[in-house]
Structure 1
């Protein structure tokens, strides 16, 4: 009888430990922008599509490439390489659009390539370094080292709904 109770107690501890680990880990879609590798919450990703030239919108900022029709939904397309100041923006066979669901809106993000989906434990994620006031790091949630790789983890919802993007109505009141 005591052995059964002890086994049940150990099983409960193991279950609690794995539940705690699950709560502190998250899955990230990783992608490249220039030489850097970024990660975003996989739960924001709706789909990944090959790049197609969007229809340009007059007077839009340079990082908003235009709009595409995605099965009847008009989707604004943001080139993250331009938005985040990559030196070289080149469209090739690896260029893709990550279709995101941000605060109920569908938005496309152009990236150089998609790498993989990684599950990262909370202890692998370090806080983003403090930068000068002229560098906007508000959308960076942390940095993760995975082997030789250094991932910049970003809050894609905060970036896409920032006021300068102008994509999400009433973004200021929601923050």
Structure 2
């Protein structure tokens, strides 16, 4: 059975997440910094009276910090029982992917971003990195003081 992914951009990189995890896509909103949060947690925003931790996905994946502008968006995702926001450059499209089309990420060592990837899939003439949202949460936000804030 095909899976549907939302694809999005960070600089020239194409990424995707399972559409079922997405709760909404919002315009960039400045965040309120939280003391002692990991550097990739840019802060929190108020999402209809819920505290939403906002993750700089580029920094989380080791690609450097994003300097958000009004053109950036926040993808609100459900990861386990917690809502998280991801800062991305733009949202692209919805794509259907057959399970057999998903390729495992290459093993590049402990420090590689592949530990956050479910796999890679061809989208038109590019490779999209499909995020493993549970791996992202377990390694950082869910283990931080922000985990109980949402």
TM-score relative to the length of structure 2: 0.87
Any conservation in 2 of the 1:41–1:155 contact (CA below 8 Å)? no
> 1:24-173 residue pairs with structure 2 within 5 A?
25-87=2-64, 89-162=66-139, 164-165=140-141, 166=144, 167-168=146-147
Q: What are structure 2's unaligned runs of at least 5 residues?
A: none
- Once the two structures are TM-superposed, the CA of residue 62 in structure 1 deviates from its matched residue by 1.8
Separation in 2 of the partners of 1:65 and 1:88? Answer: 10
Higher strand share: 2
Find runs of 4+ consecutive structure 1 residues off by over 4 angstroms: none
Separation in 2 of the partners of 1:84 and 1:115? Answer: 19
Any conservation in 1 of the 2:61–2:113 contact (CA below 8 Å)? no
State the structure with bigger RCO (CA 8 A, min sep 6), 1 or 2: 2
Aligned residue for 1:132, secondary structure, equals coil
- Once the two structures are TM-superposed, the CA of residue 136 in structure 1 deviates from its matched residue by 4.8
Aligned residue for 2:59, secondary structure, equals helix
TM-score relative to the length of structure 1: 0.76
Q: What are structure 1's unaligned runs of at least 5 residues?
A: 1-22, 170-175
- Once the two structures are TM-superposed, the CA of residue 97 in structure 1 deviates from its matched residue by 0.3
Any conservation in 1 of the 2:62–2:113 contact (CA below 8 Å)? no
Higher helix share: 1
- Once the two structures are TM-superposed, the CA of residue 60 in structure 1 deviates from its matched residue by 1.6
Coordinate RMSD, CA, aligned: 1.7
Whichever of the two has the greater Rg, that structure is 1
State how many pairs are aligned: 145
Any conservation in 2 of the 1:28–1:40 contact (CA below 8 Å)? yes
Measured against aligned partners, the alpha-carbon deviations of 1:67-105 in whole angstroms (never above 9, x if no partner) come to 111111111111101111224623233310001111111
Assess, with a 3 A threshold, how the Cα gap between structure 1 residues 42 and 26 changes in structure 2: closer, same or farther: same
